[in-house]
Structure 1
Amino acid sequence: MSDSPTFAETTWLQGAILSAFLYGIVVVFFAMCWRSLWPRIRSHNSGYKKCRLFLCCVVFLFVMATILAVSDAYETQKAFIENRLFPGGPSAFAQTSFSLEFGIGFLLTDWCALILMIWRCMVVYRDTRLYPVVCVLGGLLLVGTVVVGLLWIVIVTRPQRNIGWMSLEFLFPYLCIVLATTIFVSLLTVLRLLYHRHKISRILGTGHGEIYASFAAIVVESAAVYSIFSFIYLIPFAIHNPLADALSQMLGQAQVIASLLIIFRVSEGKGWTRRAPSTDSTMASSIRMRPMPNLTTQPPPTSAAQSHLNVEITLDPETTRDESIGLQKSRYLKEYPEEYPKTDSAPVDSAV
């Protein structure tokens, strides 16, 4: 069933539909990144140049995602409508045809996503002794990916691409290198985030380390979306399963989504920056004394007019009395004379 032409055509068509769905997610994240970056660029505050660079990267990724979506839709149209009478059906036509626009867009998107991932890993390891090692390894992996990608795009555009070593199977080494680089960089980023969370939580408590290694932070900073899609795609591609045709169309959009997530998190100030505090500096900056208010030693002005406070005191007679409690007689207690009748209340005004 999995090797039948019907199943291959079904997976190809469903892959085109799911790729269009992912492109809709790309449009949403593009709008979110634009809304987050554009006000910071217009304000010309500190860091607006970095936001301008991020905005250029966002626009580039969105253009590449649009090219991938249009190329994928056009290839699906050619396979199922224009060449539906091709010997072997649309699945046979899809295996023999190749869209140069789709290939170039896929490579450029892949390289841009990989550069962004390596940059995030370098930022995370910037204040550690492993920073030079991470830079060298990241640079070598990026150069190897670019060289193999260029070799693949040159081979598939030649008429002899189905002869000998110049075959479409040369895509498999490229995908292996990309997947290995993606997983390696992702694991380095995740390990650094978890280590920093452990150190901060041990010194300041568990609440202070959540921001560095929450589930969202690990998924976004390590581009786990791209890594998962790459790994899922490589398995059916290696066993020559038609399911790889569906995943190959979604892989480019997954790359753009992972990159836009990183940029949006950094633009919102939630990502790890090069100014992220180390363990010692975090503890020092978190324990601070509250600044004392400014105390004035000048005496109050003597020319201020004295204010009078009128107090009215009302004496209410006792309505209930416990006769069992005797009152101590005082020598100052005298009965009222008859010419001074007793009253219920006597207001007294006094000035203070």
Structure 2
Amino acid sequence: MSQWSLSSYELFEDSVNLIGSTVISAVAYGIMFTLYTIASHALVQNIRMSKDDVPLRRRSWCFLAYISAMFILGTICMASNARGAQIAYVYRPNYNGPNSATYANSIRHQSVILMGSVSYILVCMMADCLVFWRVTVVYHNSRYWLWASLLPAFFLCGVIAMGICVIVKAYNLDLTFYSQSSTQFAVPYYACSLALSLTSTILIVARLCLYKRRLDRSPIGGSVASPYLGIIVIIIESSGLYALWSLLFLITYITNNPFQYMFLPSLAQVQIIAPLLIILFVVQGRGWYQQSILASVGHIRFAPRPLSRIEDGQIDSHVTIPHPVTYPMSKGGSTYRPRST
């Protein structure tokens, strides 16, 4: 068996790749599996209890189909990462090549690797579609909803177009994800995805913070807005985790930093965790859906203040307060009141 001498940088690169493909990816998958179990159970309960509510039942079925598809794709990505690590460090530990990119080129045609890469692109597209949907939901009642949705819609079209180009260019034309030609499409793809995430995050946070500020100034704002405008809810609604993880990966990918191999294997799971949290909050009634706050405020009505008069020992005309009758006593300073019969 031939030995392949590696530099310290290449050893560090392979170490990061191994940790990212196994430990970090497995932790992210465990979180994704837990959230999927909780969300699917809540959706099944909604379906069973909403037989008479057709819109709620239909929405629950759509959510269940969406998260199930995302979970299946995420499982394929996890299996692909595990298989790639197994081939790299068990079956081909002495592969004669310069770096991980060259090694990826040698195994790109294996079915499990190809399925994992395609599943990853589909996960990214579905996650970006959900982020765009949340923007339309949050700005549903705004007169600026068309302008607010225009830029995210443009980036979403770019994500879909560039994602298809990455798949075709990298696997139908005998190129790799890390080749120069694929990078020409992959960088714009991730740039569009990141731009969509950041734009949607800014728009959603701005909208929710504006509502929070207005309702906090009202007498009933604290009790009504708290389920929908908490800090945790705002972060989840805006897919802050998804945007941060994508930003870190894009920076390391463009600069060819070894830490890109730590973010890439778990990026699919993180992109699934963010939609699962959003849907779970919507199902539990803590997420923003249509006119959430307006509906809550609309149920509150203030009764007119009663006009009561206290005259001659009377309150209104229904209750009469008898005047006390006092009888002075010969000794002591107390008064005597006859017991009423």
Q: Same fold (TM over 0.5)?
A: yes
Counterpart for residue 20 of structure 1: 26
Alignment TM-score, normalising by the size of structure 2: 0.79
Counterpart for residue 312 of structure 2: none
Within the alignment, does 1:156 sit opposite 2:170 as a pair? yes
Instruction: Specify the SS of the correspondent of 1:260.
Output: helix
Within the alignment, does 1:143 sit opposite 2:160 as a pair? no
Match of 2:128 among 114, 117, 123: 114
Gaps of 5+ in 2: 1-5, 305-329, 333-340
Within the alignment, does 1:236 sit opposite 2:252 as a pair? yes
Q: How big is the shift at 1:90? A: 7.2
Does the Cα contact within 8 Å between 2:237 and 2:287 map onto a contact in 1?
yes
Q: Distance in 2 between matches of 1:214 and 1:2?
A: 50
1:50-65 maps to which residues of 2 (within 5 A)?
50-65=59-74
Q: How big is the shift at 1:168? A: 3.8
Gaps of 5+ in 1: 291-325, 329-351
Q: Distance in 2 between matches of 1:115 and 1:164?
A: 28
Within the alignment, does 1:4 sit opposite 2:17 as a pair? no
For 2:25, give the aligned amino acid: S
Match of 2:288 among 272, 278, 281: 272
1:182-201 maps to which residues of 2 (within 5 A)?
182-201=197-216
Cα RMSD between the aligned structures? 2.7
For 2:66, give the aligned amino acid: C
Within the alignment, does 1:73 sit opposite 2:82 as a pair? yes
Counterpart for residue 133 of structure 1: 147
For 1:167, give the aligned amino acid: S
Instruction: Specify the SS of the correspondent of 1:241.
Output: coil
Within the alignment, does 1:263 sit opposite 2:279 as a pair? yes
Cα distance, 1:195–1:181 mapped onto 2, change above 3 Å: same
For 1:49, give the aligned amino acid: R
1:280-319 maps to which residues of 2 (within 5 A)?
285-289=299-303
Match of 1:224 among 235, 240, 251: 240
Counterpart for residue 326 of structure 2: none
Deviation string for 1:46-101 (max 9, x for gaps)?
A: 21111111111111111011111101100111111122121137734136543321
Cα distance, 1:194–1:9 mapped onto 2, change above 3 Å: same
- Which of the two has higher C-alpha Rg? 1
Deviation string for 1:201-226 (max 9, x for gaps)?
A: 11235523333321211111011110
Q: How big is the shift at 1:160? A: 4.7
Instruction: Specify the SS of the correspondent of 2:228.
Output: helix
Q: Distance in 2 between matches of 1:255 and 1:272?
A: 20
For 1:260, give the aligned amino acid: L
Cα distance, 1:74–1:12 mapped onto 2, change above 3 Å: same
Q: How big is the shift at 1:197? A: 0.6
For 1:31, give the aligned amino acid: T
Alignment TM-score, normalising by the size of structure 1: 0.77
Instruction: Specify the SS of the correspondent of 1:213.
Output: coil
Q: Distance in 2 between matches of 1:186 and 1:3?
A: 39
Counterpart for residue 187 of structure 2: 172
Q: Distance in 1 between matches of 2:248 and 2:7?
A: 17
Q: How big is the shift at 1:169? A: 4.7
For 1:237, give the aligned amino acid: Y
Does the Cα contact within 8 Å between 2:28 and 2:270 map onto a contact in 1?
yes
